[in-house]
Chains A and B, each alone.
Chain A
Amino acid sequence: MDAILFLLFAAIAVACGINLVVQTHPISSAISLIGVMGALAVLYLLLGAEFMAAAQMIVYAGAIMVLFVFVIMLLNAGAEKKRNTATFAKIFGVPALVGFLGLVSFLIQKEMLPRTDHVKFGGFVDKDGKALGTAEAVGNALFTQYLLPFEVTSILILIAILGAVVLARKEI
């Protein structure tokens, strides 16, 4: 059951990723990216990280991508025009990419397979049997051990807000 779910959503993620790179209109790329994020959220659930799955959907797919879609709609970005790709790139481009990714996958499999566990749904527990991916566990670590990075990211977001406001305002 785990394997079926993993293969299904991994296939969806890769298909949406390929769609993102191949599509000419930015809106199709944006929707494909939302598809990738949704598939990844399910994969996070399979890995026991339920808080991260929900956070991925709320923050990434529900806020960041809405921002992207807004900008695409506001700027009325049309489809990219076709251009003359070099013949070399046309013949060797996709096979080179596939070959490179195949090589990387093979190396990872050879190196990591003996060293890593099998992922079981519900297997993300610590020594005492407490589930680790819950909001409680993440919140505990976030507010005790990682308090400083947490506060620093809040300042980072403040800087980002200031930057966006300054960049996007009208020049009078």
Chain B
Amino acid sequence: MEFFIITAIKAGLVAFVLLTLAAYLVWIERKVLAHIQLRIGPYRVGPHGLLQPLADLIKLVTKEGVMPAEVNKFYYLLAPFLAVALALVSISVIPFGRQIEVFGYKTYMELADVNIGLLLILAISAVSVYGIALGGWASNNKYSLLGALRSSAQMISYELPMSIALVSPLLMANTLSLREIAEAQAGFYFSVIPKWYIFQAPAPQFIAFLIFLIAAFAETNRIPFDLPEAENELVAGFHTEYSSMGFAAFFTAEYVNMVTISALATHLFLGGWNPPVVEPVAGFIPTLIFFGAAFFLFFHGRQSVATRTWDRFTFPVFGGVFLGVGAVFQVPMLKEALGPLFWFGAKTGFILFLYIWVRGTLPRFRFDQLMSFAWKFLFPASLVQLLVTGLVVALKE
């Protein structure tokens, strides 16, 4: 009975954090893209645009939801629902940290500790093609249908190299449960190099990581693979006819998928929640980072240019908040629970930043270039990589 209560609490917490993260990921993306393009990005709504996601949400909710005349109503309404539901389900097998003990209950920081966890994520990403395919088809619009077909073809084509690139760390892990994979990457070589799968002997997985990242960009329909849904191609592709909450649903599903795949890459290649330096030092690094950010904010708050009057007030406030968070990381009871969470969040955040960085830098592929890249280059490369890894692991035994 208490298992259900604990799981319900965890599920509520994870859903809340995930949806907030998806919303603020939009803010981060707009800010980072803006700075890459030498402009400022959202600035006016709240301090430095921090309330922009809230404004966007209010706009999307209050917008008129126009349903075109001749659409197939059931599938038109089913498609965004399917997209969001499946995106949110795949978070449930991703662990965020070690086993923690809250008020005497020992529980894993994970919603469901399944021993086929990785296969579950693959299964859900395979089925989430339908959200896009049905959405495009049900819109009764040639361009939506074309965009949906292209997007589905792209997603199922890139599932193959992604799955094969995922198998290589599994050869060394011997388990499909993500928690055990993360636990198998603890420890250090010569106390300097962490035993993450990307560095682990006998077969360091750099190429698999690269292949997985490229395939992940394609799976989530992000630049350079976002031809099916780009705003200036095919009239925005499969979500042309969706307005207000339908569009918000597809948008949310895309960002939540990004977070899931980044978390997956973190667990399989970058060591999950294990820190990159040995333990005593690693305990201080989160605190140092937060204190450093706080001092930076205090310094800049005092020195603000006259036009940015709000910053003289908001920056020190945020600096104080960061000081508090940094201090929390040192509380001995919370340290062992929050430390792994911080490292997991930092690595996932790094990969998300990579997503946004690539978006600001690369042009997009044409569709035939995209498909031939998948089938003629990425798929054979992943197979060769798997063969080499298998050979090295087998020879070592």
Q: Which residues of A contact B (CB under 8 A)?
A: 27, 31, 34, 50-51, 53-55, 57-58, 61-63, 66, 69-70, 73-74, 134-135
Contacts and interface: CB of A to CB of B under 8 A. Distances in A.
Contacts of A70: 133, 149, 152-153
A74 B148 CA distance: 11
A66 B116 contact: no
B122 A54 contact: yes
Contact of B133 (A54, A69, A134): A69
B126 A62 contact: yes
A69 B124 CA distance: 17
B178 interface: no
A56 to B, nearest CB: 8
B137 interface: yes
Given A27-B75, A73-B145, A58 B133 contact: no
A51 B122 contact: no
Contact of A135 (B124, B126, B176): B176
Q: Chain B: interface secondary structure?
A: helix
A55 B116 CA distance: 11
Nearest to A41: B123
A62 B120 CA distance: 12
Nearest to B124: A57
B295 interface: no
Interface of B: 72, 75, 114-116, 119-120, 122-124, 126-127, 129-130, 133-134, 137, 145, 148-149, 152-153, 156, 159, 176
Contacts of B152: 66, 69-70
Contacts of B130: 31, 34, 66, 69
Contacts of B116: 50-51, 53-54, 134-135
A61 B129 CA distance: 10
Residue of B72, B116, B133, B145 with most chain A CB atoms under a 10 A cut-off:
B116
A50 B123 CA distance: 12
Given A58-B126, A63-B156, A66-B133, A73 B149 contact: yes
Contact of B119 (A54, A63, A69): A54
Nearest to B174: A136
Given A27-B75, A51-B116, A57 B123 contact: yes
A1 to B, nearest CB: 11
B350 to A, nearest CB: 29
Nearest to B129: A66
A108 to B, nearest CB: 30
Contacts of B124: 57
